[in-house]
A and B are shown apart, each in its own frame.
Chain A
Amino acid sequence: MVEFLLLGSMLVLALLALYTGPLRIAVIYFSVFSLICSFLYLYYQAPDVAIAEAVMGSGLITLLYLTALKRYRVYSVCYTNTDFPTVSDREIIEGTRKGELVREIEDFCFARELEPQLVFTPQPVSEVLQSGRHDLIIHQTGDKITIIGNRENYVIDELEMLLVLRYQDLKVLVERYGGSSEYGDDYLPEED
């Protein structure tokens, strides 16, 4: 009775850990999974295996995954400008403060161990958003600059603070979208 209930819940937890998008939550599922797993080892009279499983699964693996989540992947920044038919690198950097802004964002990413990858495109924002490949979109129309990012991205809050402090003269607007993203690169989802 007990073992069947536990085995069933282990199955559910394993599937959830596999198919949950937000990775923090998957870590919690996995941690609980390995706890129940080690209890079942005890139940089947293998206490030494159970202790090893508990130490690894609950302690070490959780720590390891959380550290791996922290230092993560390439951060892709997309710069769109619909005013010019073709936007080149030079055209932006030329424009004094805006060039500074872009460079500032790059430095900002480096400081957080994210590797910024700047992409320039003349596509409209909606297309870029739909492609879903970029973590941060800087959109410029005329003088107005809008920075668009996923609501679940912690980086954007810090970036907004920086922009408010240093770039008051530019009309910078920060927009957020989305609840949970469906592609696998959600860094730290879910609002508190």
Chain B
Amino acid sequence: MSLLVYAMVALTVLLIASLVRIIIGPTIWDRLLGMNLVTTKIVMAIAVLAVLMERSFLIDVAIVYSLLGFIASILIARFIEKKGQV
């Protein structure tokens, strides 16, 4: 049980490390990469939370999140690459 809690804390620390990349990132691509990292960390944290709270439907939420993160980063990347056209 406590191992999962440690995993949760480690994931949070990693998430904050990716946040630092988002904040200082010199170009917008660094920020996009950081956003993608945050999304994956959140998905993992939700999976850990599902085991911790013993609720299996949280795994479904994790799937929804990963899809959404994918869509969001694709949208922003396309927007920047095409210079203002989605």
Contact = CB atoms under 8 A, between A and B. Distances in A.
Interface of A: 1-2, 5-6, 9, 12-13, 16, 24-25, 27-29, 31-32, 35-36, 38-39, 42-43, 45, 47, 50-51, 54-55, 58-59, 62-63, 66-67, 69-70, 154, 187-188, 190-192
A54 B68 contact: yes
A39 B28 contact: no
B86 A25 contact: no
Interface in B28-82: 28-29, 31-32, 34-35, 38-39, 42, 45-46, 49, 53, 55, 57-58, 61, 64-65, 68-69, 71-72, 75-76, 79-80
Contacts of A29: 22
B15 A54 contact: no
B71 A59 contact: yes
Contacts of B27: 190-192
Contact of A69 (B46, B72, B84): B84
B61 A16 contact: no
A62 B49 contact: no
B55 to A, nearest CB: 8
Contact of B58 (A5, A47, A67, A190): A47
Given A6-B15, A70-B85, 11 more contacts: A2-B12, A13-B19, A24-B80, A38-B65, A39-B42, A39-B46, A66-B75, A70-B84, A70-B86, A192-B28, A192-B80
B39 A66 contact: no
Chain B, interface size category, equals: 35 or more
A12 B13 CA distance: 15
B68 A188 contact: no
Given A42-B61, A192-B27, A32 B68 contact: no
A5 B69 contact: no
B34 to A, nearest CB: 8
Contact of B42 (A1, A35, A59, A70): A35
A67 B75 CA distance: 10
A54 B38 contact: no
A4 B53 CA distance: 19
B46 A45 contact: no
A138 B55 CA distance: 64
Contacts of B12: 1-2, 5-6
Given A1-B9, A35-B38, A191-B27, A62 B85 contact: no
